[in-house]
Structure 1
């Protein structure tokens, strides 16, 4: 039996149940979603193919035959346990069944969003950012990197995953670190990337740049500020 482990929402999926005739003569094959039969193939019957169309599945009758079933426009409701049941004809009427689970993936519509970046920083400032990915099933894994290097775990809060009003997952990851000189490129910036991943199915990333003031400009601004305070 073949049932894909993961299928994208709106996509198609082929379910395939094969058998070998030995001493028993084949009679029928049936497909079930949970306990609900949705497809039956009985070659000796006047109507060989019967489809009991549940609301959660759209079986393509023109491209389904034998134990092979094509499902179109897969929805989240299609996720769950499936099993096929093969029955022998008389005199034994032996029955065998196999079980598998189907997962349906609804990835985010948009790339992850990095928030909290200020227009400019000074070396030594604290950078406090969040990365948000909205509307996904299952929730994605969020990863931060700085200058294409994975960040230390103590820079990160635990990822938060919450179910929104659509029943999908909104995820957020917080990154906080001091802008040390060792982090900055020669030009005085650091490149922050957030990646949103559902293994084998989905990958998107967003990039933002942490920009620092040149040392001379920073010292002039500090001096101007101190002078103004003195005049007051």
Structure 2
């Protein structure tokens, strides 16, 4: 049998002492080797260092839309300790729904959990596919990786996923007119596109958020898929102060004052909005009307004075009326005289 000497890094084990020393006889050799091996592992650096099991990355989408398909990923590193993978487990809200055990046949095992529909065509040691997400698919998803003896290590990481139904269109505005007069009542509604969670609505008058006294609140209503529609009404009396001087780029040419109403629907921090504008139909005060009326009267008087034909016609009519009155008076006096005689 060939006898091998200890490595050059341990010179005290070389030579005839290696065979004659009592520590190398019997079980003592195993104790020494165990101590030397432990010290080497604890003090080694560089390529001799031993790394343990690590969970490198967990990929769970923060949000996913209703009826979508998603893939959950859990990548890990067993290190260089020689540990053997025992299993990879996936949980939803502390309920196990998928397990990968490489030593089992088959290695994949599924468990029924509400809201989880596993795609059997998209399974691997580091990923699991889910299909046809439902509202109850929302929750915390956890990956758990374990190794076998002698280390028996376990690493765990979790992340939350929310199933949403975002709005598809801008909010709808109804009930408003294109022009108003001071004293009129403005009344209309803003209705969000259906979504889940429900969109929050707000009204703005000339850029300022409307106070609660100008708002009309409605209860939201769901559709057959569980998507919610919300509605918020606006109701207030028109005052001249509501209308601002129209900008040069106004969509109403010739308008002096314009009112801007804006409805904003916000879904998970993402706004959608609809803007409408109305003009002030009548001047906001009588002061704006008086100059036009005075100017019209002065214009008519000047026109009559400047036309000789019109003056002659007036005099002629006056003369005719005077003669008619004189004749009538004479006739009445004659009748009285005849009757008295």
Q: What TM-score, normalized by structure 1, do the two folds share?
A: 0.72
- Does residue 133 of the first structure (1) align with residue 198 of the second (2)? no
CA contact (8 A) 1:127 1:179 kept: no
Partner residue, 1:35: 94
Deviation at 1:105, TM superposition (A): 0.7
What SS does structure 2 have at the residue aligned with 1:15? strand
CA contact (8 A) 2:242 2:259 kept: no
- Does residue 13 of the first structure (1) align with residue 70 of the second (2)? yes
Distance 1:82 1:163 in 2: 30
Partner residue, 1:206: 274
Worse-superposed segment, 69-78 or 177-186 = 177-186
Answer 1 or 2: which has greater strand percent.
1
Deviation at 1:41, TM superposition (A): 1.8
Deviation at 1:103, TM superposition (A): 0.8
Distance 1:184 1:125, change over 3 A: farther
Deviation at 1:53, TM superposition (A): 5.2
Partner residue, 2:263: 194
Partner residue, 2:240: 180
5 Å-filtered alignment, 1:98-177, equals: 98-108=157-167, 110-118=169-177, 120-123=179-182, 125-133=184-192, 135-146=194-205, 149-151=207-209, 153=211, 157=215, 162=220, 164=222, 167-176=226-235
Unaligned runs of 5+ in 1: 220-232
5 Å-filtered alignment, 1:83-98, equals: 83-98=142-157
What SS does structure 1 have at the residue aligned with 2:259? strand
Answer 1 or 2: which has greater helix percent.
2
Q: Give CA deviations for 1:198-225 in whole Å, capped at 9, x if unaligned.
A: 236x654333333442549xx8xxxxxx
Distance 2:71 2:211 in 1: 41
Worse-superposed segment, 168-177 or 105-114 = 168-177
CA contact (8 A) 2:72 2:127 kept: yes
CA contact (8 A) 1:192 1:208 kept: yes
Distance 2:120 2:245 in 1: 60
Distance 1:17 1:159 in 2: 46
CA contact (8 A) 1:59 1:72 kept: yes
Distance 1:176 1:158 in 2: 7
Unaligned runs of 5+ in 2: 1-57, 247-254, 290-341
Distance 1:125 1:198, change over 3 A: same
Distance 2:281 2:215 in 1: 28
Distance 1:156 1:67, change over 3 A: farther
User: After TM superposition, which residue ranges in structure 1, 4 or more long, deviate above 6 angstroms?
Assistant: 158-161
What SS does structure 1 have at the residue aligned with 2:264? strand
Distance 1:195 1:153 in 2: 14
Deviation at 1:10, TM superposition (A): 2.1
**Larger CA Rg, structure 1 vs 2:** 2
Higher relative contact order (CA 8 A, sep 6+): 1
Instruction: Figure out how many residues of one structure are paired with residues of the other and give that number.
Output: 216
CA contact (8 A) 1:161 1:169 kept: no
